[in-house]
Amino acid sequence: MPIPTKAASPNQAMTVITLMPEQTIRDIDTLHAELLAGLDAKAGVRLAAAELVQVDTATVQLLCAFMLESRQREVEVEWDTPSETLLLTARLLGVSEVLALERPSSVIGLAP
Amino acid sequence: MSLDLKQFQTTFFEESFEALDGMELALLELRPGEIDAECVNTIFRAAHSIKGGAGMFGFAEVTSFTHAAETYLDALRGGCLPVSQPGIDALLKSVDLLRSMLSSVQQGHAIDAQPATALQSELERLLHASDPQDGAGVESGRRAPAAAGLGCAAKPQPCGWRIEFKPHAALFQQGNDPVRLFGELQRLGALEPSVELGHLPTLATMNSELCYLAWDLKVHGESAQADVEEIFEWVADDCQVVIQALDPAGAAQSSQSAPLATAECAANSIASRQEISAPQARQGESGSIRVGIEKIDELINKVSELVITQSMLTELGGGGGGTGGNLLQTGLERLERNTRDLQESVMRMRMLPINVVFSRFPRMVHDLSRTLGKQVDLVLRGEQTELDKTVLEKIGDPLVHLLRNAIDHGIEAPETRRRLGKPEAGCLKLEAFHKSGSITIRLSDDGSGLDCKKILTKAKSAGLVGDEELSDEATCDLIFLPGLSTAEKTTDLSGRGVGMDVVRKNIRALGGSIEVSSEPGRGTTFSISLPLTLAIMDGQSVALGDESYIIPLVSIVESLQPKPELVETVAKRGEVFLFRGVYVPILHLDEVFATRSKARSPGEGLIVIVESEGRRFGILVDELLGQQQIVIKSLEQNYRKVEGISGATILSGGSVALILDIPELLRIAHERGAADRQCIG
């Protein structure tokens, strides 16, 4: 289910950036270039992350930079079915709110 | 640019295997009932380091098993458990298992969980078995409760930890990932992460391989500080970490709220910084770096080219006279000296201490002596003696064979030794030292010695020698002939009649030699002589027609001009030459290499008598040109394999000379029917 940051324009197609199942520093240059181009997308960007099963901090950091800058430039960004892995990783790194993936959750994990 | 994490994994595997070697050696030092804190700490640190790295790379099975071993070691370290033989054995098995697990991971194979589960249970059973109270409270996932369950004095734990984690920019490039660290933290208790985004640049200006984030983390729950520290230990070189205890309200204890605790917290923080920084200091002090062997070989090649160029310049500049000529001569001499020094320094980069090989033997001797019910003390000497990496890699197997033979057949059972008035424990001494520009490795035992009578009988019945009388020295040397074994029964270890010939063959392939001496009832000594390196060698250059060839100096017995009356022609077997009372075959190189030589018969040229695998033959050449140290170049890598040639070198004049492969030429001579064994000494 998409988690919108802002309603996408109904008239123009959003630029879709699909995250690979294993999205790590190994292929970060490609994603970096795609996200940079995405900042110029007039109709906004849809981040497709349904298939994502492995993601590292470098990638999450890149996504954070993208999200912060897209807000400054008022580029619409929405998530298309972010995978459980992405949600958990964002929570673990404390960036769920920055990535607009869910409400901030101050404490994760169960008390022993 | 994309980052290849494999390089970091390679380092992790290298360091882990080294850590396991160290762990094994330290375990073999442990004695049941004795407390050797330094030894236990060494073992613990090795396990701890492997666990940290495995956790970082997500090798969960390795992390989990190492954690179990570490729990046991922690109890030993804390004095809660006595050092016991079953414990040492279980930890040695753990070393083997970890080696196997790491090898599997390294090769991308799945890990068989069953052995790890079984050994983990054994370690836990040993841990509980020693618990004087009730054995309860040992939780494989935690170290602190284990110690508590064993009656160790446990410090009161704070209700959580605050961690200021500021990674260095290159954290990701070092193969580290905070996600994994935080995942580990989460296992200690509820995690409250707060990210610091202030240094994050714009998307256009950021380098996506650098880390710009920092975190303020809180871990709630009664975890030990050591557990928190250990999670960050692996990244200690790549970040700044401050750990502080949390008070019950969830705040880091501060001077305002708890002055008394502040000192303790401050001390804790300092201790954390110090402990986490320790590996960095150790690394800095070690004075060594890891460099790929291919880089060193490339450097050696370049320096070799420089040496050749320098030789050419020396030849060209040698004839000049006058002031300018003298200055040029002085400069060339200095260049030669500097180039030689540079070459020696570069060659030393390929040298490694022989301990790389020796270090595996204490465990092997330990296991073998237990299997055979013998007591053996292994004494190692000269472990820091350096040898070329390639020689080191190839000398291991021959040494294993000799050690196994010594334990299996040389050293007697304890009751026999007692009866003979010897100490129950046999002594095996393995030493390495420099001798005459080579390295000597000597293995001696104080066992029963070789039975010369039995060796001679066996050799005669196998048709390996005739009825002639042989000295004890020559008789002992027969053990290196193929198919000779005097062992009365074959075991899994030795005595199958194969091996000693292969040992000699392998050592000779390295340009070395092996000798044996023995005294009945007193023991046997094997002396192996090896060249320092395989990259350079001393050679005799010889002329054959318009070509130059190099004969390895180590193979040459003598060079001479034969008297025609000492040369005989054997029907269909070519020529033989009477050398010191024994006929040796003569090999015509021009026939082997299809070239032209000036000398058509032995009387017209010179014969170089060479020896390989105990056999001698003569090589007919036109003339001897001179002896020199040469840099060996691979012919296979640069051209293709040529029968009878082991490599090539560039002479000072810039021409290429081929290096003769003496063992191969012996085989060729043999095939051509020139090497009639009856004629060979």
More confident of the two residues A77 and B275: A77
Banded pLDDT at B492 (limits 50, 70, 90) = very low
Q: How far is A8 from chain B (nearest CA, A)?
A: 22
Sheet holding B615-621, edge to edge: B556-560, B606-612, B615-621, B582-588, B574-579, B567-570
Which of B178, B202, B203 has its CB closest to that of A93? B178
What is the rounded CA–CA span in Å between residue A56 and residue A24? Answer: 5
pLDDT of residue B259: 29
Residue B140: HSE in the Cβ half-sphere, 13 Å Cα cutoff: 16
Cα–Cα distance measured from residue B81 to residue B73, given in angstroms and rounded to the nearest whole number: 9
The pLDDT value recorded for residue B128 is: 80
What is d(CA B221, CA A93) in angstroms, rounded to the nearest whole number?
A: 19
Confidence (pLDDT) at B188: 86
Residue B265 has pLDDT above 80, yes or no: no
Residues of B with CB under 8 A from a CB of A: 1-5, 172, 177-179, 182-183, 186, 188-195, 197, 200-204, 206, 208-209, 211-213, 215, 220-223
> B463: exposed, middle or buried (C-beta count within 10 Å: 0-12, 13-18, 19+)?
exposed
Rounded Cα distance between B479 and A27, Å, is 60
Q: Which of A61, A98, A106 sits opposite B192 (nearest CB)?
A: A106
Q: How many other C-beta atoms can be found within 10 angstroms of the C-beta atom of residue B224?
A: 19
Mean pLDDT of A67-85: 92
Q: Is the pLDDT of residue B241 over 50?
A: yes
Burial class (CB in 10 A: 0-12, 13-18, 19+), A59: buried
* Contact: A25, B172; criterion CB under 8 Å: yes
The Cα A79–Cα A5 span in angstroms is 8
Record: contact A107-B220, CB cut-off 8 A: yes
Task: Please indicate if any CB of chain B lies within 8 Å of the CB of A77.
Answer: no
Nearest CA in chain A to B191: A108
CB pairs under 8 A between A and B: 108
Answer with the residue of higher pLDDT: A104 or B544. Answer: B544
**How close, in Å, is residue B209 to chain A by CA atoms?**
7
Q: How far is B51 from chain A (nearest CA, A)?
A: 20
Predicted pLDDT at A52: 93
Helices B293-317 and B322-348, axial angle in degrees (round to 10): 160
Q: According to the model, what pLDDT value does residue B564 have?
A: 81
* B119-123, B464-468, B592-596: the lowest-pLDDT one: B464-468
Q: What is the mean pLDDT of residues B263-275?
A: 34
Q: Give mean pLDDT, residues B320-335.
A: 76
Q: How many C-alpha atoms does B136 have within 13 Å on its Cβ side?
A: 1
Q: What value does the mean pLDDT take over residues B573-601?
A: 83
Residue that wins the pLDDT comparison between B653 and A7: B653
pLDDT tier for residue B249 given thresholds of 50, 70 and 90: low
Chain B residues in contact with A29 by the CB 8 A cut-off are 1-2, 208
List the domain boundaries for chain B: 6-148, 160-272, 294-349, 353-531, 536-680
Angstroms from A110 CA to nearest CA on chain B = 5
- CA B118 to CA B541: how far, in whole Å? 63
Per residue in B35-48, pLDDT (tens digit) is 777 888 888 888 88
The CATH architecture annotation of domain A16-103 reads: 2-Layer Sandwich (3.30)
The reply to whether residue A28 touches residue B3, judged by beta carbons under 8 angstroms, is: yes
Higher pLDDT, A79 or B628: A79
Q: Quick one: average pLDDT of B450-471?
A: 82
CATH architecture of B160-272: 2-Layer Sandwich (3.30)
B427 pLDDT tier (thresholds 50, 70, 90): very high
**Residue B66 and residue B120: Cα distance in Å, rounded?**
9
In tens, the pLDDT along B362-376 reads 989 998 998 899 999
Domain ranges of chain A: 16-103
User: What Å distances lie between residue B418 and A15, A70, B183, B520, B523, CA to CA?
Assistant: 87, 86, 60, 17, 16
- Give the Cβ contact number of residue B554 at 10 Å: 18
Residue B201 has pLDDT above 50, yes or no: yes
Closest residue of A to B5, CA-based?
Answer: A26
Q: What are phi and psi of B354, to 5 degrees?
A: -65, -10
Cβ <8 Å between A56 and B1 = no
Domains B6-148 and B160-272 share a fold: no
Q: What is the pTM of this model?
A: 0.55
B536-680 homologous superfamily: CheA-289, Domain 4 (2.40.50.180)
| Nearest CA distance, A42 vs chain B (angstrom) | 17
Q: Is A20 on the interface with B (CB under 8 A)?
A: no
**Greater confidence, B16 or B278?**
B16
Q: What six digits make up the tokens of B37? A: 């804190």
Compute the mean pLDDT over every residue in chain B, rounded to the nearest whole number: 79
Which are the contacts of A110, defined by CB distance < 8 A and separation ≥ 6? B190
Query: For B347-356, what is each residue's pLDDT tens digit?
Result: 778 888 898 8
Whether residue B426 has pLDDT greater than 90 = yes
By percentage, how much of chain B surpasses pLDDT 90?
23
- Going by pLDDT thresholds of 50, 70 and 90, the confidence category of residue B80 is confident
pLDDT, position B47? 87
User: How close B193 gets to chain A, by Cα (Å)?
Assistant: 5
For an interface test with B, give the residue of A59, A91, A92 to mutate (most B CBs within 10 A): A92
Quick one: pLDDT band at residue B448, thresholds 50, 70, 90? very high
With beta carbons under 8 A apart, name residues in chain A contacting B220. Answer: 107, 111
Chain A residues with CB under 8 Å of B166 CB are none
Predicted confidence band of residue B19 (pLDDT cuts 50, 70, 90): confident
What is the sign, positive or negative, of the torsion defined by CA atoms of B263, B265, B267, B269? negative
**Superfamily of structural domain B6-148:** HPT domain (1.20.120.160)
Beta strands in B382-420 (DSSP E): 386-388
CATH class label, B353-531: alpha beta
Helices A84-93 and B178-188: angle between axes, nearest 10 degrees: 80
Which residue in chain B has the smallest CA separation from A86?
B179
Q: Decide if pLDDT at B391 tops 50.
A: yes
